[in-house]
Amino acid sequence: MSQLLTALEFPANVWKLNNGLTVIHQRISATPVVALDVWVKAGATLEPDSWSGMAHFLEHMIFKGTDAIAPGEFDRVVENRGGIANAATSHDYAHFFVTAAADYLAETAQPLAELLLRAAIPDSEFDRERDVVLEEIRQAQDNPDWIAFQALMETVYERHPYRRSVLGTEELLVS
């Protein structure tokens, strides 16, 4: 049994930077790929009820550029190097990630950091992204699994922010 537990040890290095950022690094030499994933304590539980869905909406808007990066440019940089970039929001966190060939770490990490630290959230992208999020909400409301999960959350967490959908509501998003 002890051999099994030894094999299950976390095969990564973990350290904390002076600014509080926790870094987890794992090298797998057989895979020439880098996955950079930044987790931020900015989930839906931190929103007041009247702002339900704002963390999710901001997660979408982060990728819309900075003063130095035009909307869509980050995606082009990553995709032109064979990578993918995306983000997600939960009740407790939002996370933003890039996966690309290891040779492109610097070329993809720098613009991701720029977006996370200096997001511009341009007015020109606001309505367009609101429509994207509204469609996400509508798709979720057509999904029986999501409906059941949401009903469970509302029942189990009736006095806790977990009761609210991370996506928010159509009513709040259009107001």
> pLDDT tens digit string along 117-157?
999 988 889 999 999 999 999 999 999 999 999 999 999 99
Check if 59 is active-site.
yes
Q: How far apart are CA 44 and CA 169, in angstroms?
A: 12
Structure tokens at 113: 């950091």
Residue 87's SS3 state is: strand
How many CB atoms neighbour CB 168 within 10 A?
23
Q: What's the full length of the chain, in residues? A: 175
Is 60 exceeded by the pLDDT of residue 46? Answer: yes
Q: Which domains does the chain have, with CATH numbers?
A: 2-174 (3.30.830.10)
Q: Find residue 16's DSSP bridge partners.
A: 22
Mean pLDDT calculated for residue range 85-105: 96
pLDDT tens digits for 50-82?
Answer: 999 999 999 999 999 999 999 999 999 999 999
> Exactly one of 9, 47, 59, 107 is catalytic; which is it?
59
pTM of the model: 0.85
CA distance 1 to 32: 32
Q: What is the mean pLDDT of residues 19-25?
A: 85
Query: Alpha-carbon distance 141 to 12, whole Å?
Result: 39
pLDDT greater than 60 at residue 5: no
CA atoms 55, 61, 63, 66: torsion sign: negative
Nearest to 161 by CA among 83, 77, 51, 37: 51
